[in-house]
Amino acid sequence: DAKTTQPTSMDCAEGRAANLPCNHSTISGNEYVYWYRQIHSQGPQYIIHGLKNNETNEMASLIITEDRKSSTLILPHATLRDTAVYYCIVRVGGLGNNAGNMLTFGGGTRLMVKP
Amino acid sequence: SQTIHQWPATLVQPVGSPLSLECTVEGTSNPNLYWYRQAAGRGLQLLFYSVGIGQISSEVPQNLSASRPQDRQFILSSKKLLLSDSGFYLCAWSVQGMFQPQHFGDGTRLSIL
């Protein structure tokens, strides 16, 4: 499965957009990019996922480059409650494996939203 | 809507004691179920997953085991805990099918003394 590279930590001012980058240069054609976040002492929370088109939901936007080797998660108006570790994950796509949507979590980016 | 419950939230156990952590999902049928462990300051490691009752796949060798006695119940067990079993244990579920996102419970923090 493709590995991802994220900055260890980032700061963002409250009310501003938070742009979290992720490199996944070895991604293959049938692998999706997923983003989760984890607030201290809680379970990870699913944010968004995509294949090659940009995606938007009530939480965030996901921008995937045309070559799919990198992506950016955008929190349009960060709040203090968005302070968390954000994980970028490329999903293993096992053919014929119904549970192939296993997730391999790396170290993530610790986002600190400051007032 | 779907919900996932894990208990207990925290647990302190002596070395060599048994373990049973339970996870249940509501509001969905025939989900995929997962057990992860997160060591302090590190990412998540998949331990087990299940696509149906009685069907368990193990991802890493260890002294833990998992069982799925009912469709929406997933249990993580050990006969004799080791110090290295300390960590944050997370249960997750997903709709069956490729590329479905996983949804996590609030976890159990296990400390082995």
Whether A94 shows a pLDDT value over 50: the answer reads: no
Q: Which residues contact B99 (CB under 8 A, 6 or more apart)?
A: A32, A49, A91, A93, A101
Stretch A60-71: mean pLDDT, rounded?
Answer: 96
B38: closest chain A residue by CA: A105
> Which of A99, A107, A108 lies closest to B49 in CB terms?
A99
Interface contact A45, partner B, CB < 8 A: yes
pLDDT for the residue numbered B53: 95
pLDDT of residue B67: 97
pLDDT in tens, A40-57: 888 899 999 999 989 999
pLDDT in tens, chain B (113 residues): 889 999 999 999 999 999 999 999 999 999 999 998 887 666 778 888 898 999 998 877 689 999 999 999 999 999 999 999 999 999 999 888 767 888 999 999 999 99
Please answer yes or no on whether B98 and A106 come within 8 Å at the CB atom. Answer: no
Cross-strand pairs, B34: B49, B92
Query: For residues B41 and B36, what is the distance between their CA atoms, to the nearest angstrom?
Result: 14
Q: What is the pLDDT of residue B41?
A: 63
Nearest CA in chain B to A43: B106
pLDDT over 80 at A104, yes or no: no
CA gap B48, A5 in Å, rounded: 25
Average pLDDT value for residue range A18-31: 91
- The answer, yes or no, to whether residue A95 has pLDDT greater than 70, is no
Give chain A's mean pLDDT. Answer: 87
d(CA A49, CA A37): 12
Query: pLDDT band for position A78 (50/70/90)?
Result: very high
| Strand (E) or helix (H) holding B66 | strand B64-70
**For residue A14, what pLDDT is reported?**
97
**B104 with A99: Cβ contact below 8 A:** no
- Nearest chain A residue to B91 by CA distance is A43
Beta-carbon contacts of B28 under 8 Å, excluding residues fewer than 6 positions away, are: B2, B72, B93, B95
